[in-house]
């Protein structure tokens, strides 16, 4: 999802001086950063996963902890190597994004403030992409009032399936602290708020509202589908489907908002 979002941001904001090779190196850097952070998360959670998510690679024994540690180090070194080719600003932004992920892993993942690291990481991401694509515009900053609620919602959707098991294991991230019912209600409230902000900012910027409306309708259709599926069963399986629908809905809204600016 993160890499896809970066590609959308880069392509939608690309200008005549777009350097495809440099942007490709940035995407590889981002992928390696995500791999480093994600593998670290699985490594740190290996004991909990053995009880709650035994199908994960380390919990199943498909990857040994020592192998995971080696992969984590290799991914980080490779990320640094690619980041160095992006210049000092790109390098610093890559490190900041990776740092946000590791703050989540080591400090915030089991606390009610777990969402803070997500917001930190996704606040860095657009600047990393715009630097890689040499396409920054002050207008793009108006994406943040819409984007931050979307990131917040994505975090809720991602952690919603694990609420019951996390609470049973004494892990109280933000969603687990709220409980599944309140977390789900907050999730859809925040998503609707993000759409309202997208429309308000698009109207204020005199964007192409037809493009924005089409994106909003597509995004809202996925959100409504996620709510129907969730409330039909209210179990772990339906909660996982929620994330699979909410994530692309957020990408559609962001892509539509950006596309509407260019017309």
**DSSP code string of the chain:** -HHHHHHHHHHHT--TT--HHHHHHHHHHHHHHHHHHHHHHHHHTHHHHHHH-TTSHHHHTSS-HHHHHHHHHHHHHHHHHHHHTTHHHHHHHHHHHHHHHHHIIIIITTSTTHHHHHHHHHHHHHHHHHHHHT---GGGGGGHHHHHHHHHHHHHHHHGGGHHHHHHTT---HHHHH-HHHHHHHHHHHHHHHHHHHHHHHHHTT--HHHHHHHHHHHHHHHHHHHHHHHHH-SHHHHHHHHHHHHHHHHHHHHHHHHHHT-
CATH no. for 137-263: 1.20.120
If one looks up domain 1-136 in CATH, what number appears?
1.10.357.140
| Ramachandran category for residue 234: left, alpha or beta (phi over 0 → left; psi -120 to 50 → alpha) | left
Yes or no: say if 229 and 161 are a contact pair by the CB < 8 Å rule.
no
What ranges do the domains of the chain cover?
Answer: 1-136, 137-263
Its pTM stands at: 0.90
1-136 shares its CATH topology with 137-263? no
The tens place of each residue's pLDDT in the chain, 263 residues long, gives 899 999 999 988 887 778 999 999 999 999 999 999 999 999 999 988 888 788 889 989 999 999 999 999 999 999 999 999 999 999 999 999 999 999 999 999 889 999 999 999 999 999 999 999 988 888 999 999 999 999 999 999 999 988 888 888 888 889 999 998 999 999 999 999 999 999 999 999 999 999 999 999 999 999 999 999 999 988 888 999 999 999 999 999 999 999 998 65
């Amino acid at each position: 999802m993160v890499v896809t979002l970066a590609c959308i941001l880069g392509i939608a904001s690309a200008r005549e001086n777009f350097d495809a090779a440099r942007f490709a190196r940035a995407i590889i850097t981002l992928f390696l950063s995500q791999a480093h952070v994600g593998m670290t998360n699985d490594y740190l959670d290996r004991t909990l996963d053995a009880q709650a998510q035994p199908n994960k690679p380390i919990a199943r024994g498909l990857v040994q902890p020592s192998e995971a540690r080696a992969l984590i180090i290799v991914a980080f070194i490779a990320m640094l190597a690619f980041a160095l080719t992006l210049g000092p600003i790109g390098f610093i932004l890559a490190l900041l994004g990776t740092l946000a992920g590791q703050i989540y892993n080591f400090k915030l993942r089991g606390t009610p403030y777990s969402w803070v690291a997500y917001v930190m990481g996704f606040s860095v991401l657009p600047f990393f992409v715009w630097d890689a694509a040499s396409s920054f515009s002050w207008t793009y900053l108006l994406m943040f009032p819409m984007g931050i609620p979307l990131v917040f919602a994505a975090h809720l959707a991602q952690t919603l399936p694990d609420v019951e098991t996390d609470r049973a294991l004494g892990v109280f991230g933000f969603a687990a602290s709220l409980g599944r019912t309140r977390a789900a209600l907050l999730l859809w409230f925040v998503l609707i708020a993000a759409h309202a902000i997208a429309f308000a900012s698009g109207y204020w910027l005199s964007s192409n509202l037809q493009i924005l409306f089409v994106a909003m309708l597509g995004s809202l259709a996925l959100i409504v589908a996620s709510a129907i599926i969730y409330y039909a069963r209210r179990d772990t399986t339906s909660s996982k489907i929620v994330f699979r629908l909410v994530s692309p809905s957020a990408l559609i809204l962001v892509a539509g908002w950006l596309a509407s600016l260019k017309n």
